Amino acid sequence: MQLRIISKKNWVFTIIVSVLLFINLSFVLFADLQSSRLARLVTVAFLFIFYLSRKQYKNSWVKAALIFFLIHEIFFQFYEYSIGLKGYVIVGCLAYMMVIVECFRKFSIRFFNTSFVILGALLLIVNMYMLYSAIEILNLVFRDSLDIALYYLYGSFMMIMAVIAVAYNTKYYSTRSLRYTLLVFCFLFSDVSALFAYYFDFELCYMFSLVFFILALSIFVTYGLNYEIEREENYQYEMIHSNEFR
């Protein structure tokens, strides 16, 4: 299988993403925190406009997710305020939900057998324990019980998204499924890096978080635009699946 995360036809987009990364990293290194957040918001807005401006078939779930990511970044400008933090987490959950649903529709009910459900439940339990441990290790302080609930909810969506991505790539093992898995783990690495950056003030983690986030969103844009690869993926899966029963 050829790895076509960014094909030669998308070299212009590759250059655009490289420029966006350079600009955002420059803001992190040479500007204040608020300015770097604003640059990140402008970057998300630019990628959203880029997606809408393309003539290719538009994926409704991808479009909805990009809208939520844009609102997510608006709330991020006011992260230190209660409404900003809550809005950031809630809209972030909605964005991840759209990312999950876009992929979830590819599975039939038969795929989610007892073993898969048990494994998923165990992973969620482990995830909850890890989130609880993170509170103790990082000495996280929450304003109220709602913040705690949102913290666990956000972490659960991260875990579900990872499980779905791995299941998707295991089932199809295609260029598109690999692209989806890559963007999901870029989102996850971005969130984890952001947690350490914010609470420990590690500047390097800020940069890691930013790079992973922009890469994830950029791959997500190309994922949503490349309808031909989705058709190719479905065709290949049907051919392989039909051969198994001959």
The DSSP element (H or E) to which 8 belongs, if any, is: none
Domain span at residue 64 reads 9-236
Q: Is 246 part of a structural domain of the chain?
A: no
Instruction: Kindly give the confidence (pLDDT) of every residue in the chain, 246 residues in length, as a single tens digit, with 9 standing for 90 and above.
Output: 444 444 555 788 889 999 999 999 999 889 888 999 999 999 999 999 999 998 777 788 999 999 999 999 999 999 889 899 999 999 999 999 999 998 887 776 555 566 666 766 777 777 676 776 666 665 566 777 888 888 889 988 998 898 888 888 887 788 888 899 999 999 999 998 888 887 777 778 889 999 999 999 999 998 988 766 666 666 565 655 554 444
Token code pair at residue 188: 């996850």
d(CA 63, CA 72): 14
Q: Is 245 part of a structural domain of the chain?
A: no
Coil vs helix vs strand at 31? coil
Instruction: Give the CATH number of the domain where residue 67 resides.
Output: 1.20.1070
Side-chain-facing half-sphere of 196: CA atoms under 13 Å: 14
Looking at residue 72, its pLDDT comes to 96
For 167-212, give the DSSP string.
Answer: HHHHHH-SHHHHHHHHHHHHHHHHHHHHHHHHHH--HHHHHHHHHH
Looking at residue 90, its pLDDT comes to 95
Looking at residue 119, its pLDDT comes to 67
Looking at residue 12, its pLDDT comes to 83
Looking at residue 4, its pLDDT comes to 47
Q: Is 144 part of a structural domain of the chain?
A: yes
Q: Is 241 part of a structural domain of the chain?
A: no
Report the number of distinct structural domains present in the chain: 1
Q: How far is CA 149 from CA 82, 93, 138, 153, 179, in A?
A: 14, 12, 17, 6, 31
Q: Is 187 part of a structural domain of the chain?
A: yes
d(CA 180, CA 238): 20
| Count of Cβ atoms closer than 10 Å to residue 37 Cβ | 18
Cβ burial of 14 (10 Å; 0-12, 13-18, 19+) is middle
Q: Is 2 part of a structural domain of the chain?
A: no
Q: Is 243 part of a structural domain of the chain?
A: no
Q: Is 67 part of a structural domain of the chain?
A: yes
Sign of the four-CA dihedral 167, 13, 22, 224 = negative
Token code pair at residue 82: 């209660």
